[in-house]
């Protein structure tokens, strides 16, 4: 999220402030049978797949502390959230 204003302008997010940020999901294919459910995992770190996020705003290479991160997805009339999926008809 610190790169939401661009790769050359990283900015630390302010705790408690709401941000609108579309998140693009990588393409995938899965057949969902009747009764199947879809789960979504949002997290502030996914090391080693992505750079470590210590939730402090410190540059990763010089970081000396780690904080617990918290993510919230709001879904109410004022803060609508949505998930858009492609559907391909099975033959």
Report whether 66 contacts 56 (CB < 8 A). Answer: yes
66 C-beta neighbours (distance < 10 Å), count: 13
From first to last of the 91 residues of the chain, give the pLDDT tens digit: 788 888 898 888 888 888 888 888 778 888 888 999 988 887 777 777 777 778 888 888 888 898 888 888 888 888 888 888 888 877 6
Q: Which residues contact 34 (CB under 8 A, 6 or more apart)?
A: none
> CA 59 to CA 10: how far, in whole Å?
10
């Amino acid at each position: 999220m610190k790169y939401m204003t661009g790769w050359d302008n990283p900015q630390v997010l302010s705790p408690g402030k709401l941000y609108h940020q579309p998140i693009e999901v990588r393409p995938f294919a899965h057949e969902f049978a009747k009764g199947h459910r879809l789960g979504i995992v949002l997290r502030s770190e996914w090391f080693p797949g992505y750079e470590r996020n210590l939730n402090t705003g410190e540059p990763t290479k010089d970081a000396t502390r780690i904080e617990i991160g918290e993510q919230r997805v709001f879904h109410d009339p004022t803060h609508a959230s949505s998930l858009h999926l492609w559907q391909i008809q099975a033959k």
